[in-house]
Structure 1
Amino acid sequence: MQYNTGGPLAGRTIVVTRPQAQAAPLAEAIAESGGAPLIFPLLEIAPASDPQPLVDAVQRLADYSLAVFISPNAVDYAVPAILASGQWPAALVPAAVGQGTVKALAAHGVSGCVAPTRRFDSEALLELPELAAERVGGRRVAIFRGDGGRELLADTLRARGATVDCVTCYRRSGPSGGLEPLLAAWRESRLDALTVSSSEGMRYLFDLLDDEGRAFLKRTPLFVPHGRIADNARALGLSNIILTDAADAGILAGLRAYNWPK
């Protein structure tokens, strides 16, 4: 990783909390801007406890008109199983919530993806004409996702007349390695900001911290790329929140534009 010692983030240690497999691009961008990224995933990703739903979905893939992937993790855990059974069905339209997921699909050779280009959430995806009632009514939709999560997408598509199967292909859990790297950086006054791209990860962090750690967290700038994450952080009693534009590019722009203390 190359550091730009004269960049706008020079001298700043910034925590990247994306899952390990998705952390490198933002960490590298921070380093290129002069910052010191500290990768500390708040979510650990593993295969689903029960693989059968994915197996069943792959076997009846030709029955679906639309395959929605909630995240790059959904792509990484579902698409290899799909392609192992043959080529991507020509009539099956792929859809994604965010551009990172579009890129993950493209890396597996799946193109023609339907996805929002500005906001990256279920609401934005549902606004696209390809998911309107006249397009999905009477059709079968597969949603590849992790365990739990919001039901808005599935519920709305069902209300529009689609038959929806939610396929859990991976599971999420909190960090298992302990919080000592974060606490050590805080205690040594060398942790300047955190970037958080998941409300679930934010909750894991808050719950794992003791009173000392929560005091550190409350006074540390928290850069988040979605209003829902900001709202959830405020509900935890946090107030030093900087809402950025979406995705890694939005987070990086927010970091670069921030009025850092001298």
Structure 2
Amino acid sequence: MFSSAADKMSDHLSEVVSELKRSCTRARKKTMAQRLTGAGIWVTRPLHQAESLAKAIEAEGGEAICLPVIAIADVEDPQTPMAIVERLERFDLAIFVSANAVERGLGYVGRGNWPALVPVAAIGKATARALAKAGLVSAIQSPPPYNSEALLTTAALQADAIAGRRVVIFRGVGGRALLGDTLAHRGALVTYAEVYRRTLPEWRQTTPIPWDRIRVIVVTSAEGLDNLFGMMDDDAERERLRRIPLVVISERMSGLVRELGNRCPPIVAERASNEAILNALLAFAPRLKCEV
């Protein structure tokens, strides 16, 4: 009799403990989901690349304000990259600097027409995924932090391996010169296939910036940073911009933010991936409002 009562009491206590654990788990999940609640986050990526990050922000309770500072457009003279693509089989290596370079570059090549003997290299995971989606496996990938500097540390791109090799770099018009210049210094024969251009988006002409809703701005390129400040109508808007913290993806960009006179310390994500940017937002959520 006493044993039965004790067993019932033990079972009841177990149920209570289990329910408390479930309640704590639900509370933790709720708290996690609310870490960005009330934070309007301006995502400046081109619209076709902003959707995934916007969904991740909204899943954490934030408001994603998708207003790009860069638009991706076709090059003005498509015959120039086409002429390079037509002799693609002569190259020893093709490097793609971005997912945009993959999408636009393979548009010139044609699906399924990539020369089997020309290996490809990717800067960043998103670029490698874009290549894989097109059926191309990256022979060389940049290690963390997944940028040009990191790619240049790989064994396949050192002078003893790359000297005398013909390398084509798929990129946008006027992209960074570091990768090509370094490879040329190491003895490679470098050609640029500029397959897209970056332009200012049209929305700024008709859509006001919702300043009252913006708590933080995500910028993922140096050109985007320049465009962001260049899009301001007057000194009053530029001053307002300088009072908002920016999330950037490299220490180099962090230095540019300071040079532009931003009053809030920049938040540096470990890399350009959506996951890294979201982690930076979550880690620094308490300081998303900068009082200056």
Output the TM-score relative to the length of structure 2.
0.82
Q: Out of 278, 282, 286, which is 1:252 matched to?
A: 278
Alpha-carbon distance in structure 1 between the residues aligned to 2:250 and 2:208 = 23
Alpha-carbon distance in structure 1 between the residues aligned to 2:201 and 2:256 = 19
* 1:223 aligned partner: 247
Letter in 1 for 2:281: L
* 1:204 aligned partner: 227
* 1:14 aligned partner: 41
Letter in 1 for 2:101: A
Cα distance change of structure 1 residues 205 and 87 upon mapping to structure 2, 3 Å threshold: same
Paired-residue identity, %? 40
Alpha-carbon distance in structure 2 between the residues aligned to 1:59 and 1:228 = 36
Q: Deviations over 1:58-103 (max 9, x none)?
A: 111111111011111111101132135x532222111111111111
* 1:116 aligned partner: 142
Give the match's secondary structure for 1:14. Answer: strand
Structure with bigger helix share is 2
Alpha-carbon distance in structure 2 between the residues aligned to 1:249 and 1:242 = 15
Letter in 2 for 1:167: A
* Aligned-pair CA distance for 1:242: 1.1
Contact 1:199 1:233 (C-alpha < 8 Å) held by counterparts: no
Contact 2:39 2:62 (C-alpha < 8 Å) held by counterparts: yes
* 1:80 aligned partner: 107
Alpha-carbon distance in structure 2 between the residues aligned to 1:147 and 1:88 = 22
Q: Deviations over 1:11-44 (max 9, x none)?
A: 1110111111211111111111111101111101
Output the TM-score relative to the length of structure 1.
0.91
Q: Out of 210, 214, 217, which is 1:194 matched to?
A: 217
* 1:232 aligned partner: 256
Contact 2:98 2:124 (C-alpha < 8 Å) held by counterparts: yes
Give the match's secondary structure for 1:100. Answer: helix
Letter in 2 for 1:246: R
CA RMSD in angstroms comes to 1.8
Alpha-carbon distance in structure 2 between the residues aligned to 1:63 and 1:201 = 34
The 4+ residue runs of structure 1 with deviation greater than 6 A are none
| Unaligned 5+ runs, structure 2 | 1-29
Contact 2:131 2:138 (C-alpha < 8 Å) held by counterparts: no
* 2:165 aligned partner: 139
Answer yes or no: is 1:48 the counterpart of 2:75: yes
Alpha-carbon distance in structure 2 between the residues aligned to 1:137 and 1:197 = 32
Contact 1:223 1:254 (C-alpha < 8 Å) held by counterparts: yes
Query: 1:159-174 residue pairs with structure 2 within 5 A?
Result: 159-174=185-200
Give the number of aligned pairs: 255
Contact 2:122 2:138 (C-alpha < 8 Å) held by counterparts: no
* 2:22 aligned partner: none
* 2:19 aligned partner: none
* Aligned-pair CA distance for 1:7: 2.5
Give the match's secondary structure for 2:241. Answer: helix
Alpha-carbon distance in structure 2 between the residues aligned to 1:182 and 1:96 = 37
Q: Deviations over 1:106-135 (max 9, x none)?
A: 111111341113112211111111111122
* 1:64 aligned partner: 91
Give the match's secondary structure for 1:249. Answer: helix
* 1:242 aligned partner: 267
Contact 2:143 2:151 (C-alpha < 8 Å) held by counterparts: no
Letter in 1 for 2:129: K
* 2:115 aligned partner: 89
| Unaligned 5+ runs, structure 1 | none
Cα distance change of structure 1 residues 205 and 23 upon mapping to structure 2, 3 Å threshold: same
Letter in 2 for 1:152: L
Alpha-carbon distance in structure 1 between the residues aligned to 2:203 and 2:58 = 24
* More deviation, 72-81/173-182: 173-182
Give the match's secondary structure for 1:178. Answer: helix
Contact 2:81 2:193 (C-alpha < 8 Å) held by counterparts: yes
* Aligned-pair CA distance for 1:230: 1.2
Cα distance change of structure 1 residues 113 and 174 upon mapping to structure 2, 3 Å threshold: farther
